[in-house]
Amino acid sequence: MTAETRLPTGTDLLAEIDRLRKERNAVILAHYYQKPEIQDLADFVGDSLQLSQMAAETDADVICFSGVKFMAETAKILSPDKIVVLPDMDAGCSLEDSCPPEKFKAFREAHPDHIALTYINCSTEVKALSDIIVTSSSAETILAQIPPEQKIIFGPDRHLGGYLSRKFNRDMLLWPGVCIVHEAFSETELLKLKAQHPDAPIAAHPECPPSIVDHADYVGSTSGILQFAKTFPGQTLIVATEPHIIHQMEKALPEKTFIGAPGADGNCSCNVCPYMALNTLEKIYTCLRDLEPRIEIEEGLRIQAKKSLDAMLTMASGTVGQGDLGKV
Ligand code: 13P
Ligand code: SF4
């Protein structure tokens, strides 16, 4: 029997989550790709960099991380004395899966004159093998600080790496991973949609392939896309990232229209992240109640992984977060 099926009938989940949050001195952190009802109850909603910064700064005893496993592990690496719970331990990431630590280690060893600039969407083991972690909102600021003669391995997202490489005119050795969600957008369907809304700009996440990013008027992280949505002068925006972020746009700008970019089937259902979707209100309730499933990391590994995360937090310290709720 799962924890969810043991819920007493008639449980008022929102009231119970609120009670447990206070009782446990817990903070609920949620990514923009979470379901609207989760975004609305979270203490803070943000992108990967903002959530890392929040996890490092909060004085809560418990962090309930409504996102995916690499995000909750990041919180534990930065705040080892806190209890970090993840509503569903199966909430992984295709980018993390694409980069097994032993293969990444061999790749690094084959290129000893390169530093490893690594996207935060990876395992703790891969973070421990890396020099500097980046998120999509901090990558450009950090790359600009690395001397031009320094050779770089970038993993595991080849699309983000390729985008940075083109923008900075800088060769990097790219690990061949992709996000299955952003990979699923269709250029043909996007152009059909654009033809129906010729005045609507396109905002795309850099995890999208060049066939999508090349049509975009704005390319940036989830918080960057949200900021663009709040400032673009038009009436309609086409959004090429996981569609749950549109919830924040509709809340902030109810008079404007936000359209999710289509997948190959002509609608955006294939662009819902199946890992993020595993989190539910029921699982948030049970993990606050049971303080399980809990993230645990062996101390030597944690200390090693923290070095590359600390490097990111220091180098990205001028990067301003644009999270919506600042209650932590
Ligand atoms: P950001 O929120 O940092 O842009 O990352 C997007 C993403 O895919 C998280 O898994
Ligand atoms: Fe991973 Fe892509 Fe899901 Fe983000 S959206 S968690 S990168 S699979």
Q: Does the pLDDT at position 3 exceed 60?
A: no
In this structure, which ligand is nearest to the CA of 270?
A: 2
pLDDT digits (tens, 9 = 90+) for 160-190: 999 999 999 999 999 999 999 999 999 999 9
Indicate which residue's Cα is closest to atom 3 of ligand 2.
Answer: 273
DSSP state of 186: -
- Is 238 in contact with 204 (CB distance < 8 Å)? no
Q: Which helix (H) or strand (E) holds 193?
A: helix 187-196
Are 13-91+276-297 and 95-178+303-319 in the same CATH fold? Answer: yes
Say how far apart CA 29 and CA 52 lie, in whole Å: 10
Lining residues, ligand 1, CB within 6 Å:
32, 47-48, 121, 135-137, 179, 207, 221-222
Q: What percent of the chain has pLDDT over 70?
A: 94
The pLDDT, as a whole number, for residue 327 is 30
Is 48 close to ligand 2, i.e. is its CB under 6 Å away?
Answer: no
Ligand 1 pocket check: which of 29, 47, 225, 248 to mutate, most ligand atoms within 8 Å of Cβ? 47
| Of 256, 213, 212, 252, residue with least CA distance to 234 | 256
Rounded to an integer, the average pLDDT of 12-24 is 97
Q: How many angstroms is it from 95 CA to the middle of ligand 2?
A: 7
pLDDT band at 326 (very low <50, low <70, confident <90, very high): very low
pLDDT digits (tens, 9 = 90+) for 222-249: 999 999 999 999 999 999 999 999 999 9
Binning pLDDT at 50, 70 and 90, where does residue 267 land? low
CATH top-level class for 13-91+276-297? alpha beta
Distance from the CA of 181 to the center of ligand 1, in angstroms?
11
- For residue 67, how far is its CA from the centre of ligand 2 (angstroms)? 10
CA-nearest residue, atom 5 of ligand 2: 273
Rounded Cα distance between 172 and 154, Å, is 6
Distances (CA, A) of 267 to 43, 111, 135, 151: 31, 42, 28, 41
pLDDT tens for 69-126 read: 999 999 999 999 999 999 999 999 999 999 999 999 999 999 999 999 999 999 999 9
Task: Evaluate if residue 308 carries a pLDDT over 50.
Answer: yes
Alpha carbon distance 324, 40 (integer Å): 10
Average pLDDT rounded to a whole number, residues 185-207: 97
Collapsing DSSP to helix, strand or coil, 62 comes out as strand
From the CA of 224, which ligand is nearest? 1
Phi/psi for 310 (5° steps) reads: -60, -40
pLDDT band (50, 70, 90) for residue 270 = confident
Distances (CA, A) of 141 to 58, 136, 168, 176, 236: 24, 10, 11, 23, 29
When pLDDT is cut at 50, 70 and 90, the band that residue 56 belongs to is: confident
- Rounded-to-integer distance, Cα 51 and Cα 216, Å: 26
Residue 318 has what pLDDT? 64
- 182-260 CATH fold: Rossmann fold (3.40.50)
Say which ligand is closest to the CA of 184. 2
- The gap between the terminal CA atoms of the chain, to the nearest Å, is 34
Q: State the pTM of this model.
A: 0.94
- Domain spans of the chain? 13-91+276-297, 95-178+303-319, 182-260
Question: With pLDDT > 90 as the criterion, what percentage of the chain qualifies?
Answer: 89
pLDDT at 302: 98
- Predicted local distance difference test score (pLDDT) of residue 319: 60
Determine if ligand 2 sits within 6 Å of the CB of residue 99: no
Residue 222: which of 179, 255, 264 has the closest Cα? 179
Rounded to whole angstroms, how far apart are CA atoms 106 and 126? 12
Least confident span in 84-88, 220-224, 266-270, 281-285: 266-270
Q: Domain spanning 95-178+303-319: which superfamily?
A: NadA-like (3.40.50.10800)
**Interval between CA 103 and ligand 1 midpoint (Å):** 24
> Can you tell me the distance from the alpha carbon of 195 to that of 199, in angstroms, rounded to the nearest whole number?
9
Q: Which positions ≥6 away from 9 have C-beta within 8 Å? A: none
For the cut 50, the answer to whether the pLDDT of residue 328 exceeds it is no
> What is the pLDDT averaged over residues 302-307?
98
